[in-house]
Chain A
Amino acid sequence: MGINHKMENTKKQYWKGLEELTKNPEYEKYADKEFPEYLPVGEEAEGGTGASRRDFLKLMGFGVAAASLAACETPVRKAIPYLNKPADVDPGVPNYYASTYVNGSEYCSVVVKTREGRPIKIDGNKLSSVSGGGTSSQAQASVLSLYDKERLTAPELGGKKVSWEDLDKEVIKQLSSAKKVALVSNSVYSPSTLKSIEGLQNKYPSLVHVQYDQVSASGILSANESSFGIKALPSYDFSKADTIVSFDADFLGSWINPTLFSKQFAQTRKLSNGKKSMSRLYSFESNLSLTGANADYRTAIKASEQGVFVANLYNAIASKVGMSKVSAPKIADSAILMKAAADLLKTKGRSLVVSGSNNENVQVLVNGINSMLASYGATINLNSAVYTKKGDDKEMINFIKGLNAGSYDGVIFYNANPVYDHAQGAQIATGLKKAKFSISTSDRKDETAALATVIAPDNHYLESWNDFEPVAGKFSFSQPTISPLFDTRQAQESFLAWAGDTASYFDMLKSSWSASLTGDIQAGWDKLLQDGVVEKTIETTEITFVGDVSSAAQKVSTPASGLELVIYENYSVGTGIQANNPWLQEMPDPITKSVWDNYITVAPKMAEELGLVLGDMETQLVSLTVGNQTIKAPALVQPGQAAGTIGLALGYGRTNGGKVANKVGVNAYPFIDNTKGFQNKSVTSGVKLELSGEKYRVAQTQTHETYMGRENVVQESILSKYKKDESAGRYHPMISTYSGAKKPGTISLWKGHEYPNHHWGMTIDLNSCTGCGACTVSCQAENNVPVVGKEEVLNRREMTWLRIDRYYSSDAPEGDLTAMEIAAENPEVTFQPMMCQQCNNAPCETVCPVAATNHSSEGLNQMAYNRCIGTRYCANNCPYKVRRFNWFKYHDNDQFADNTSMNNDLGKMVLNPDVTVRARGVMEKCSFCVQRIQAGKLNAKQEGRRPVDGEITSACASACPSEALVFGDLKDPNSKISQMLKIKEVENEKGKKDLEVTEPRAYHMLEELRVDPNVWYFTKIRNKEENEA
C-alpha cells in the first residue's frame, strides 16, 4: 500500500486574493496571463498597432546585453570580512608597533606599520640610540621576507611534515641519548634567548653553544683582550671624530653598525652658517667601498699592505708623542699616510682609527694608535660593548674539526646556515654525515637545513616575541605584528619545549622583564613594548693599553707581490641570509650600480692587461682560482680598485635559498681564508685570474660613470673655499636677454601656480648622503614599485622611482668630451639621490595630451594613472629622466615571477593598500609619497590643527640613516626645510608673493631650464686641501 500523494479533489476553492473573490474587473482582465500585473510589452499589440516587433527587438537587445554582461562578471575576489572586529584594527587605519630587526649580526630597532593586521612597512625607531632612527636597506626589505612563499610551512622530520608534538618527542629522545651536542648559531644577543639556550644546556649538559659570524670581528675581540684585558667589541662614536682613518673598515656600508655610523659620520659632515667645520676621512682600502667613496682622501692599497700601513702610521704618531717606534718596512708613497698622521695628532682626542682586518696583530697596532691619540673614552667606548659580533672564529673552526672527527652526536643549527655561509661549509656538510642527528630551525630548507634530519622552522621576526641587547645596557624588543603565517614555532619555544619547560617564551620574557620593573608592572611593560627600547646604566671601568705593539708589528704580514682577492659584504644582499628577497636583489649596488649578480671587480688597468673586451653592460666570465678551488664569474671594471687586487662580494651563489636567490652569482664564502685561525677575507696568495672567453652581461642601472664636468648637475667645492664663501662651488647660470644677462628665475613664460595651503619640498644634502641606498628600498616598499628582474634591467627598464646617481671624477682635461667619459683611476665619488623633482613649471605636464600628469595645489606634480594613455612623451621631456613606464604587466604575470610582491597571494600581502598597483602601459613616478601627505593632513584635520613639521615625511627621508633627505612644507616658516633653505617671502615682478631661497649652498639641478623644482640639492663640500682639489 503506497501513500497517495495526489491531493484529493475537495472542490474547495482557493482565491488568489481578494480581487478574485470580489471579481474585480481589472483583475479578471489579466487573470489568465502569465504576469497578471501591467506589462508595457503587449500594450500596443492589443491596441492593434502591431508594434510588438520593436518591443521584441528591444527585449532581445536588452536580453543579449544583460546575458553578455552577466557572463563578463568579474570573478569573486577573496575577501574575508571580520565577524567580530578586533578592537585595535580599523580598516584603512594603520597601526604601528615597535620591534627589532635582527638578521645575523645586523641589528636595527624599527617601527612596523601594519594595515588590517598585515605588516607592510618598516621604519626606523627614532628612540633607539643603537640604530639611530635610520634603517638599512636590509631592514627595509625584511618585511617582504615575511611573505616569502618559500618559507617552510610546517616542521619536518626526515623530510616529512610532522606535528610539533611528534617532532618534540623525537628531538627529546635524540637529545637525551646524545653524548655531545652542539648548538651552532650566529651571534646571539638576546638575553632571553640565551636564557632559553641555557635552559637547554641545563637539561642536556653536553650541549655546547658555538657562535660564529658570517663576517666576524674576532680580530678586534682578541686584540682587545690582549690590549685591555676586555674581550669585547667597543662602541665607536664617529660623531665625535674630527679625523677618521679607516683601513678597509667599511663603517658606512657593512662594518659593525653602518646604520648608526652613517648617522654619526653625517653629523660631522653637515655644514651650515653656524657650523663651518667638518670631519676629514682618510680611507686605505683595496675595493672601492662606500666608506672609500665618501672619504676625503682615499688611497688604494693592496690587502697585504694594510699591516705595514698601520705600522707606519703607528710610527709616525709614536715619534710625535714620544713613544717608541715599532719595526715596519718603509712604504713607497707615504705622503697621504703622513698627512693622516698629522691630522690625527692635530685632533687628538677627537680622532679615530679603525681597521676591518681580522688579524689580531693589526688590531693591536690600531689599538695602540687609538690609545696614543686618546681615542678611548672619547671616540671609542670599550665599556659599552657591542654584542652583535660575538663569534669566535677559532671556536667554530674547532667545532668543524670535531664534527668531522665524529665527536658530535648531534647539532642544532639555530637560524644558522654555515654549510653556505662559512668558509668550511663543505666540511660541515660532510661532517654532518657523522652526526646521528641534526636539527635546523631555519625558516626555509636552506643549504644546511636540507642536510638536517629535523627541521623545526622558526617564526619570522615579525611573528616573534624577543628582547635584544645589541650594546651593553641598551635593550630592545620584538613583538609579533601578525600571527604566524605558517605552522612554525619560535625557536626559543622549541628550546623551552625540548628542555621540558612548559612555560611559553612570552611568559618567560615578560616575567624576566617584569622583575626589573617597578610600580605598575603592566603599564611599565606596555611602555617597554611601545617604545621598543630601554636603556640601563652600565658600570664603567678604567682601561689601560697594555698591548704588545712591537711583537704585533713583527707579526703583521708583509706586502705580497701576487694577485690578491678581497672578499667584501655588499650593501644589498649582504651576507646572503635574505638573498631570496627580490627587493634586495634588484637594489643597485651603491658603487657598481649593478643588480642580480656578484662579480669580480678588476681595476681598469688590469682589465686592459687581461684583454677584457667590454661592450654596453657586456663583459666576460673569468675563472678565479684560489688554491684548488676555481669558479667562473663575470669581471666588472671598477675604477678605484687597487692595483693587484680583485674584489668579490659575499651573499650570492645560493643553491637552496629559494627561487629568487638560487643561481644568482657565485658563492664567495669558500674563498675566505681560515688557515691562520681567523676569518681572513683577504686572500693574499695563490690567486689566479684567467679570461674564459665566454661573454656575460652584468645588469647595471647606470652605465655612464662621470658627470662630464656638468656643473648644472653636480656642484661641489672644498671646505677651505666654503669657509671663505658659503656659495663656493655654486654654478650660477645666466640667461642672455636683450636687456643683459639675467638669472633664470627672473624670466619666465610661466604664469606660476598659487599654493594657498601647503607647498611641499625636499632638500638633499650631498655632503651627508653616503649613498647607502636604504631610501630606494624604502621607496619600493612604500610605493609598491615592481621588481622587473635582471633581463629587464639589462633592457634599462628598472622601475625604481628613486635612484642614487653615482658619479666618478675624471682626470681628463675640461673640454675633451670623449676622454671625460672615462673615470679617473682612483676617482672622487659623488652620490646624488634623484627622484621626481616636482617641478613647479613641469615640462612633463605641458606635453601630456590627456592631462594625466598635472599640478596639485600643494606643489606636487601628480600622476592620474587611470587617465594615462602611455605616450611616454612626458618621460622623454623630463630632463631628470625619473619617469618610469610600465612596459609590461608586472603583476599577476608568470614572466615576472621574481616580482614576488605582486605575483603570489602571500607576497601581495606586503602591498601598501594606499598606493595603486599600476597597470601595463601607464607612466609612473615619485609622488612625494602623496598618500603619506594625505594621511598626515587628515590626521591633523581630525584633531583640528595644522600638521606639525616632521609629522609628514616621505618614505625615503624617513629611511635615511644620515638624515640627508629632509621633507617638509615650504610655506611653514618654522619647518626644518624652510630653516635649512632660509626661505624668505618676496614679491616678484608680477606683484605676487614668492618664496626665495637664500641658503647659499642650495641649488636647483639644471637651474637654467627654469623648470623650478621643489627639490633642492646642497653642494658637496670635500675636506681637502686647495691645491689637491
Chain B
Amino acid sequence: MHSEAVVRKPLVTGGKTVHDVTEDICKRVEEKPVKSWMAAMAVSLALLGFGAYAVFTLVWEGIGSWGLNKTVGWAWDITNFVWWVGIGHAGTLISAILLLFRQRWRMSINRAAEAMTIFAVICALQFPLLHMGRPWIGAIWALPLPNTYGSLWVNFNSPLLWDVFAISTYFSVSLVFWYIGLVPDFATIRDRATGISKAVYGALSLGWTGGAKDWSRYETVALVLAGLATPLVLSVHTIVSFDFATSVIPGWHTTIFPPYFVAGAIFSGFAMVLTLLLVTRRVFNLEDYITMEHMSVMNIIIMVTGSIVGIAYITELFIAWYSGVEGEQYAFYNRALGPYAWAYWSMMTCNVISPQLFWFKRIRTNIAATFIISIIVNIGMWFERFVIIVTSLHRDFLPSSWAMFYPTWVDVGVYIFTFGLFFTLFFLFAKFFPVINMAEVKSIVKTTGEKTDK
C-alpha cells in the first residue's frame, strides 16, 4: 500500500514556480548591485583594509606585537583558528550528511552554508600561518616535501602536522563539492547572460549541457563527495582537538575533547549559518526559499548540540574532581573562580543557557530571537576556545610562571582582518554566485511547493 505524508509543510512558500526560482535567484546576479550590498561591501572592505594593516604590523614587527608572553604562547590566534574551523562545520554537515540522509530542507540553504564553510576555512587558515614566528619558511617546512637537507622530514608525531593534513583535505574536498554543485546553476546564468558575463559564466560552467548524462554524473559525483566529506565533519575538529588533548597541560590533556569539539563545531556552525541566512534572505527577499521551517529545524540542532556541549563542560568538571589530580583540579577551579572567571561564565551563559531557550517554539520561530541567540552562541563559542587555551596556559604547573594575557590592538586587528576577509568573500559570493541551489530547489518546487498542492 502506498501512502504519502500529507501534513508535511511546504519547503518553498509563496507559490513559486520553477521559472520563478530561476528569476528570483538569477536576478541578483544579473541586476546592478543594490545599495545595501554596496554598503555592506564597503564596510567589509574597510574591515579588511584595517585588518590588513594589523597583519602587516604583525609580520613586519614580529609576534611580539600580539599580547602573548612566556606563559601564554597561544591566545587569540588559535582561539580564532578553532572558532573559524568550527564555524565551517555546519556547511559540510548540511551539504554532505543531510544529503546522505535525503533531508530535502537542506536544498535551499546548502549553497550558502557551503560557501560559508569555504570562507570560514580560508579565514581559519590565516591563523596557523600568521601565528608562526617565521611564516615565510614555516608555510613550506610544515609540509612533508622533499628537500635538500638530507633526510630532514616533518615530525609525524606532532598534532600540528595532523592539522595541516586535516585542514588541507577538508578545504579541498569542501571546495570541490561546492563547485560541482555550482556548475548547473552557472550554466543557467550563462544561458541567460550576454557579453563578458556569458564568457565568464560559460567558463565556470565547464561546458554543462543539461543533458541526462550530465545530470547522472553530477548526481554520482555529489554522492561520492558527500561520502568523502562526511567523515571529515567528524575528523577535522577531532584532529584540531588533538592539539590540546595530546598535550600535558591541565585543562588541555582531556580525552573528552574530540566529541566535545565536534559538537561545539556544529553548534557554532549552525549559529553562524543562521546569522548569515537571516541577513541574506532579508536583503535578497528570499523569504520563500529560506523559511521559518528552516530556522526552526536549525534551532533544534543548535539546542541539541548546545546541550551536548553543556554536558561536556559538566563532565570536564566532574572528571577534574574525580581524577584526584591536583593540577587538573586547580585548572578547573581556576577557570570558574580565577582571574578569567568572567570568560568562563560568559561561555557558560552563552553556550549552555542561551540555546535552552529554543525549547520554546515561540522563540525557535522568532526571527529576532533566533538572530540574537545565534550571535550569542558564536560569542560563547569564541569564549569556549579562549577559556580552553588561555585559562589553561596562564596558570599551569609552576606558580612562578603564572601570568595574565592582555590582547593588543594587533590581536584584535588580525581577528578583524578575518572578518573583513570573510564578509568580503561572502558578499562577493552573494552577488556573483547563485546563493540558492536553483537546480536542487527546482526539484522540490513541484513536490513541496505551495502551488502544486493546490
Which residues of chain A have C-beta atoms less than 8 A from B398's C-beta?
A: 713, 805, 834, 879-881, 1005
Stretch in A17-25, A137-145, A915-923 touching the partner: A915-923
Task: Tell me the chain B residues, 52-73 only, with Cβ under 8 Å from chain A.
Answer: 61-64, 67-71, 73
Task: Tell me the chain A residues, 918-946 only, with Cβ under 8 Å from chain B.
Answer: 919-923
Q: Is A280 positioned at the interface, with any CB of B under 8 Å from its CB? A: no
Report yes or no: A704 in contact with B402, Cβ–Cβ below 8 A.
Answer: yes
Contact A869:B400 (CB < 8 A) given known A796-B71, A1011-B248: no
Q: Is A376 positioned at the interface, with any CB of B under 8 Å from its CB? A: no
Q: Is A66 positioned at the interface, with any CB of B under 8 Å from its CB? A: no
B interface residues, tally (CB under 8 Å): 53
Min C-beta distance of A256 to chain B, whole Å: 31
Report yes or no: A885 in contact with B73, Cβ–Cβ below 8 A.
Answer: yes
What residue in chain A is nearest B160 (Cβ atoms)?
A849
CA A188 – CA B306 in complex, angstroms? 77
Report yes or no: B70 in contact with A848, Cβ–Cβ below 8 A.
Answer: no
Which among A795, A847, A870 is the interface contact of B69 at CB below 8 angstroms?
A795
Report yes or no: A888 in contact with B61, Cβ–Cβ below 8 A.
Answer: yes
Contact A887:B64 (CB < 8 A) given known A708-B399, A850-B141, A869-B134: yes
The SS class assigned to the B binding surface is loop
Which residues of chain A have C-beta atoms less than 8 A from B249's C-beta?
A: 876-877, 879
0 or 1 for each of B109-150: is its CB under 8 Å from A? (1 = yes) = 000000000000000000000011111011001100000000
Report yes or no: A871 in contact with B399, Cβ–Cβ below 8 A.
Answer: no
Q: Is B397 positioned at the interface, with any CB of A under 8 Å from its CB? A: yes
Report yes or no: A875 in contact with B70, Cβ–Cβ below 8 A.
Answer: yes
Which residues of chain B have C-beta atoms less than 8 A from A805's C-beta?
A: 398, 400
Min C-beta distance of B394 to chain A, whole Å: 10
Min C-beta distance of B445 to chain A, whole Å: 50
Report yes or no: A849 in contact with B158, Cβ–Cβ below 8 A.
Answer: yes
CA A888 – CA B159 in complex, angstroms? 26
Task: Tell me the chain A residues, 848-862 only, with Cβ under 8 Å from chain B.
Answer: 848-851
Report yes or no: A796 in contact with B69, Cβ–Cβ below 8 A.
Answer: yes
Q: Is B220 positioned at the interface, with any CB of A under 8 Å from its CB? A: no
Report yes or no: A921 in contact with B142, Cβ–Cβ below 8 A.
Answer: no
Q: Which of B131, B138, B154 has the most CB of A within 10 A?
A: B138
0 or 1 for each of B396-408: is its CB under 8 Å from A? (1 = yes) = 1111111110000
CA A713 – CA B67 in complex, angstroms? 28
The SS class assigned to the A binding surface is loop
Contact A870:B330 (CB < 8 A) given known A847-B159, A849-B161: no
Q: Is A818 positioned at the interface, with any CB of B under 8 Å from its CB? A: yes
Q: Is A508 positioned at the interface, with any CB of B under 8 Å from its CB? A: no
Q: Is A979 positioned at the interface, with any CB of B under 8 Å from its CB? A: no
CA A563 – CA B363 in complex, angstroms? 66
Which among B73, B154, B402 is the interface contact of A872 at CB below 8 angstroms?
B73
Q: Is A128 positioned at the interface, with any CB of B under 8 Å from its CB? A: no
What residue in chain A is nearest B403 (Cβ atoms)?
A796
Which residues of chain A have C-beta atoms less than 8 A from B3's C-beta?
A: none
CA A806 – CA B398 in complex, angstroms? 11
What residue in chain A is nearest B155 (Cβ atoms)?
A851
Report yes or no: A870 in contact with B133, Cβ–Cβ below 8 A.
Answer: yes
Report yes or no: B397 in contact with A703, Cβ–Cβ below 8 A.
Answer: no
CA A772 – CA B259 in complex, angstroms? 50
Min C-beta distance of B118 to chain A, whole Å: 24
Contact A797:B64 (CB < 8 A) given known A869-B133, A879-B249: yes
Min C-beta distance of A569 to chain B, whole Å: 25
Report yes or no: B157 in contact with A703, Cβ–Cβ below 8 A.
Answer: no
Task: Tell me the chain A residues, 755-800 only, with Cβ under 8 Å from chain B.
Answer: 792, 795-798
Q: Is B359 positioned at the interface, with any CB of A under 8 Å from its CB? A: no
Report yes or no: A702 in contact with B400, Cβ–Cβ below 8 A.
Answer: yes
Q: Is B326 positioned at the interface, with any CB of A under 8 Å from its CB? A: yes
Report yes or no: A703 in contact with B158, Cβ–Cβ below 8 A.
Answer: no
Which residues of chain B have C-beta atoms less than 8 A from A843's C-beta?
A: 247-248
Report yes or no: B142 in contact with A850, Cβ–Cβ below 8 A.
Answer: yes
Q: Is A873 positioned at the interface, with any CB of B under 8 Å from its CB? A: yes
What residue in chain A is nearest B142 (Cβ atoms)?
A849
Report yes or no: B70 in contact with A796, Cβ–Cβ below 8 A.
Answer: yes
Min C-beta distance of B389 to chain A, whole Å: 9
Report yes or no: A876 in contact with B393, Cβ–Cβ below 8 A.
Answer: yes
What residue in chain A is nearest B63 (Cβ atoms)?
A887
Which among B135, B248, B327 is the interface contact of A877 at CB below 8 angstroms?
B248
Contact A703:B160 (CB < 8 A) given known A713-B397, A879-B248: no
Q: Is B337 positioned at the interface, with any CB of A under 8 Å from its CB? A: yes
Q: Which of B74, B133, B153, B158 has the most CB of A within 10 A?
A: B133
Q: Is B164 positioned at the interface, with any CB of A under 8 Å from its CB? A: yes
Q: Is A868 positioned at the interface, with any CB of B under 8 Å from its CB? A: yes
Q: Is A616 positioned at the interface, with any CB of B under 8 Å from its CB? A: yes
Which residues of chain A have C-beta atoms less than 8 A from B404's C-beta?
A: 616
What residue in chain B is nearest A1006 (Cβ atoms)?
B397
Q: Is B333 positioned at the interface, with any CB of A under 8 Å from its CB? A: yes
Which residues of chain A have C-beta atoms less than 8 A from B73's C-beta?
A: 872-873, 875-876, 885
0 or 1 for each of A706-746: is its CB under 8 Å from B? (1 = yes) = 11101011000000000000000000000000000000000
Q: Is A231 positioned at the interface, with any CB of B under 8 Å from its CB? A: no
Which residues of chain B have C-beta atoms less than 8 A from A803's C-beta?
A: 400
What residue in chain B is nearest A820 (Cβ atoms)?
B399
CA A869 – CA B89 in complex, angstroms? 28
CA A608 – CA B451 in complex, angstroms? 78
Report yes or no: A869 in contact with B68, Cβ–Cβ below 8 A.
Answer: no
Q: Is A748 positioned at the interface, with any CB of B under 8 Å from its CB? A: no
0 or 1 for each of A454-473: is its CB under 8 Å from B? (1 = yes) = 00000000000000000000
Min C-beta distance of A84 to chain B, whole Å: 40
Which among A707, A872, A880, A887 is the interface contact of B399 at CB below 8 angstroms?
A707
Which among B158, B247, B333, B337 is the interface contact of A876 at CB below 8 angstroms?
B247
CA A817 – CA B330 in complex, angstroms? 8
CA A713 – CA B400 in complex, angstroms? 10
0 or 1 for each of A62-98: is its CB under 8 Å from B? (1 = yes) = 0000000000000000000000000000000000000
Q: Is A995 positioned at the interface, with any CB of B under 8 Å from its CB? A: no
Task: Tell me the chain A residues, 806-862 only, with Cβ under 8 Å from chain B.
Answer: 806-807, 817-818, 832, 834, 843, 846-851
Report yes or no: B70 in contact with A834, Cβ–Cβ below 8 A.
Answer: no
Q: Is A975 positioned at the interface, with any CB of B under 8 Å from its CB? A: no
0 or 1 for each of B81-105: is its CB under 8 Å from A? (1 = yes) = 0000000000000000000000000
Min C-beta distance of A43 to chain B, whole Å: 33
Contact A872:B68 (CB < 8 A) given known A879-B248, A881-B396, A881-B401: yes
Which among A870, A873, A876 is the interface contact of B134 at CB below 8 angstroms?
A870
Report yes or no: B247 in contact with A921, Cβ–Cβ below 8 A.
Answer: no
Q: Is A180 positioned at the interface, with any CB of B under 8 Å from its CB? A: no
What residue in chain B is nearest A707 (Cβ atoms)?
B399
Which residues of chain A have C-beta atoms less than 8 A from B248's C-beta?
A: 843, 877, 879, 1009, 1011
Contact A848:B401 (CB < 8 A) given known A817-B330, A922-B134: no
Report yes or no: B326 in contact with A792, Cβ–Cβ below 8 A.
Answer: no
List A residues at the B interface (Cβ < 8 Å): 616, 702-704, 706-708, 710, 712-713, 792, 795-798, 803, 805-807, 817-818, 832, 834, 843, 846-851, 867-873, 875-877, 879-881, 883-889, 919-923, 1005-1006, 1008-1009, 1011
28 contacts between A and B (CB under 8 A): A703-B402, A703-B403, A708-B330, A713-B397, A795-B67, A796-B71, A818-B337, A846-B246, A847-B157, A849-B142, A849-B164, A851-B152, A868-B133, A869-B132, A869-B135, A870-B132, A871-B160, A872-B68, A873-B73, A877-B247, A879-B397, A881-B70, A881-B401, A885-B68, A887-B63, A888-B64, A920-B62, A1011-B248
Sorted nearest first, the 9 A-B pairs with minimum C-beta distance are: A870-B133, A921-B133, A887-B64, A869-B138, A796-B69, A805-B400, A872-B73, A881-B401, A921-B134
List B residues at the A interface (Cβ < 8 Å): 61-64, 67-71, 73-74, 131-135, 137-138, 141-142, 152-155, 157-161, 164, 243, 246-249, 325-327, 330, 333-334, 337, 393, 395-404
Given contacts A849-B158, A869-B137, A919-B134, 18 further A-B contacts (CB under 8 A): A704-B399, A708-B330, A710-B327, A713-B398, A795-B64, A817-B334, A849-B160, A851-B153, A851-B155, A867-B152, A869-B134, A870-B132, A871-B131, A877-B247, A877-B249, A885-B73, A888-B61, A921-B63
